[in-house]
Amino acid sequence: MYSRIISGGIIGVEGILIQVEADMNDGLPVFNMVGYLSPCVREAGERVRTALKNSGFRIPPKRITINLSPADIRKDGTAFDLPIAIGILTSMGVITQEKIQDILIIGELSLDGHVNAVAGVLPIIQCAIKQGIRRCIVAEDNAEEAALIEAMEVIPVDSLQKTVEYLTDVVAIEPCYVDVKMLFNMEQADDCGDFSEVMGHETLKRGIEIAAAGLHNVLMTGPAGAGKSMIAKRIPAILPELTFEESLEITKIYSIAGLLKRGKKIIGKRPFRAPHHTISSNALAGGGHEPKPGEISLAHNGV
């Protein structure tokens, strides 16, 4: 039996929808995964099979093929564990195809069936909204981040068993709601040092004020301990406050990089990055075999 689940991945700093196709047919018992997969994704097969067994589901001895489409885009990360498991259960007839229509599913599975959070949820949700999807299933720890997009109905789950019960109408799960404006205002109120606290350095402060007003570059030289880094760290304090749209752009980048601290769902202050002078070009500009944001991207809309 064939089934199709909507999931998502990351390309650079943008989200992309990935179709997780599962097919179960007669033949020698084998579990094949195809679709230009990284080793991280290929390992999902063992995680999913063990999680299904420990959640009380017995996979029949049949030929199972999993395809992640489009096949010409490299897939990376652990966000496909939960959709693969749901796809197998749908092919087994445990869940009907109608129940998973137009639902985005993202999540990593532990061997005991627990659903773990993954990085990069926000850009995937933004991409799904543009494609007309209005409901998603994510890990509880990702729910508030996903709920920053108000048009999306976010269903938080903590286990594979709970996900199946929701999709089979055994239990009802209250969608996650976040007061975005209140959360944004709370993050803006977080104090990180004020420019007015700098004593002396009048000429330098005047130069930095002019540079900040015109978005110019600044080169500061002087002996260690003169206050260069201390003053630089306070430059965001004299820049205009972030708009909500700018905040979402920054949060999306930090989500992809996995730098959103636990309990912090949105970036409300302009970022400040201070890379060491020995930093590599890849770490500074981003990139790599699997493109990741660099320090320049992490300083977007900030310093």
Q: Are residues 191 and 108 in the same domain?
A: no
Q: Are residues 174 and 208 in the same domain?
A: no
Q: What is the pLDDT of residues 127-160, one digit of tens each?
A: 999 999 999 999 999 999 999 998 899 999 999 9
The average confidence (pLDDT) of the chain is 90
H helical segments located in the chain: 39-42, 44-54, 81-92, 121-130, 140-146, 160-167, 180-188, 202-214, 228-233, 244-257, 281-285, 295-298
Residue written as token pair 């007309």: 132
CB 163 within 8 A of CB 156: no
Closest of 269, 270, 273 to residue 284, by C-alpha:
273
Q: What is the pLDDT of residues 164-178, one digit of tens each?
A: 999 999 999 999 998
Instruction: State the CATH number of the domain containing residue 256.
Output: 3.40.50.300
Q: Is 259 exposed, middle or buried (0-12, 13-18, 19+ CB in 10 A)?
A: middle
Q: What is the pLDDT of residues 29-63, one digit of tens each?
A: 999 999 999 998 999 999 999 999 999 999 999 99
Give, rounded to a whole angstrom, the gap between the first and last alpha carbons of the chain: 53
Q: Are residues 154 and 101 in the same domain?
A: yes
Range of the structural domain that residue 148 is part of: 2-178
Q: What string of DSSP letters covers 268-291?
A: -S-------TT--HHHHH-BTTTT
The pTM is what? 0.86
Q: Are residues 18 and 150 in the same domain?
A: yes
Q: Are residues 146 and 200 in the same domain?
A: no
Q: What is the DSSP letter of 163?
A: H
